[in-house]
Homo-oligomer: A and B are copies of this chain.
Amino acid sequence: MKKTKAHKSVKAGTSGALGERKLIQLIQSHLSVMPDLPVPFGDDVSAVDLGKGRVAVLKTDMLMGKTDVPRGMSMWQAARKAVVMNVSDFAAKGVEPTALLVSLGLPRDIMRKEVEEIARGLNTGAREYGAYVIGGDTSEASDLVVAISLFGTAKRKELVLRSGARAGDIVAVTGFFGKTAAGLRLLLDGYAASKDLREVLLRSVCMPNARLCEGLSLCRSGALSASMDSSDGLAWSLHELARMSNVGFVVDCVPVADEVRRFAEFNGLDALELALHGGEEYELVVTVKPKRWADAEMAVKVAGGLLLPIGKATRDRQVILEVNGEKVPVEARGWEHFKSKI
């Protein structure tokens, strides 16, 4: 179980008032635990032992029209994104996706053309990452729902969990942050940007990519101690890795995308805030055994990607940003859902 998305206004006794993590803990507390579960609750994916060292890997996450599809995103893009957000979790564990099923909830008045766009978006997303859509179901719904179930198999010992980071490990990411957060502010809050900048930022919202090649290569290298994706924001991922691994992090460099610096400057926004507390950004956040750093770097390089060290895991269980000798705690804030802004 992963965290639910943030609520803005809440009533006492409701699930919103409970808070995200407690809601999930509450649900888990009522579930019987499968014996010999290869991946614990709370990691990016779930798994079932298949014997002989192999596991079936499963992931399900849904995209909702009202909360996950901002104005300006096409149905094709929304359906493709629904696939990407599930593939990203496989990428973080080093698992190749094989097949996916889709449960589609369709509003009664959705147009035939839009349904075709959704079908094509699902197929494109699946084929980009080597998977096939092999089945599903449709239901009538009051809002668009695209619930994806992703399936793959992996060697049990090659799965990289969230819980393996040790003090001294290097924490690293596969790209620069903040473009999606900036893009959403462009789309939803009326901020401004030059045409070129606008294109880059909106592309990051509407055409996200999962770091599958990087994730597969990194996990196979054996150099990682922990890994997860950054779909709920960089800060949230750091806190999750810290919590699940019983460590902390001192981050000495947040890789803010150039475009985000320019956008933030132009609009009087905080670029660091956009990079740390954004979300819907599908980079990997990994910890690397210090002696294996060169192997990890090479693994990402051969996959055609980047690996940027951003700090170190520590015994002290806090997540700290240390810039120019100044230490500031990084808040465990995930991305703010944009529903209330639509």
- What is the interface of chain A, defined by CB distance below 8 A to chain B? 1-5, 7, 10-11, 13-18, 23-24, 26-34, 37, 39, 41, 43, 45-48, 50, 56, 58-62, 64, 66-68, 98-99, 101-106, 108-116, 118-120, 122-123, 126-127, 132-143, 145, 147, 149, 151, 153, 337, 339
Using CB atoms, name the residue of chain B closest to A119.
B30
Cα distance, A113 to B153, chains bound together (Å)? 37
Of B2, B4, B134, which contacts A58 at CB under 8 A? B134
Q: Given that A14-B110, A101-B58 are contacting pairs, would A23 and B142 also be in contact in the complex, using a CB cutoff of 8 Å?
A: no
Q: In the bound complex, do residue A48 and residue B139 qualify as a contact, i.e. CB atoms below 8 Å apart?
A: no
Q: Measured between alpha carbons, how far is A302 from B106 in the docked complex, in Å?
A: 42
Can you tell how many copies of this chain the complex includes? 2
Q: Are B99 and A140 in contact (CB under 8 A)?
A: no
Q: Is the CB–CB distance between B64 and A105 below 8 Å? A: yes
| Contacting residues, chain B, for A134 (C-beta < 8 A) | 34, 37, 41, 46-48, 58
Question: What are the residues of chain B within 8 A of A132 when measuring CB–CB?
Answer: 31-34
* Residue contact B31 to A111, C-beta cutoff 8 Å: no
Instruction: Name the residue on B nearest A109 (C-beta).
Output: B14
Chain B residues within an 8 Å CB radius of A141? 64, 66-67, 143, 145
- Rounded to whole angstroms, the CA-CA distance of A111 and B17 in the bound complex is 9
Give which listed residue, B5, B48, B101, contacts A140 with CB less than 8 A.
B5
Q: Give A111 to B10 CA distance when docked, in angstroms.
A: 11
B108 in contact with A31 (CB, 8 Å)? no
Given contacts A23-B138, A31-B133, A64-B139, could you give 9 more A-B pairs where the C-beta distance is less than 8 Å? A10-B108, A13-B112, A14-B111, A31-B122, A41-B134, A58-B99, A60-B135, A141-B145, A145-B147
A5 to B219, CA, bound (A): 43
Known: A62-B139, A119-B30. A105 touches B145 (CB 8 A): yes
CB neighbours (8 Å) of A5 from chain B are 138-140
B-side contacts of A104, CB under 8 Å: 27
* Contact, CB under 8 Å: B30 / A120: yes
Say whether, besides A27-B115, A46-B101, A151-B48, A137 and B61 are in contact (CB < 8 Å).
yes
**Contacts A48-B99, A108-B7, A111-B14: A138 and B31 contacting too (C-beta < 8 A)?**
no
Q: Do B60 and A147 touch (CB < 8 A)?
A: yes
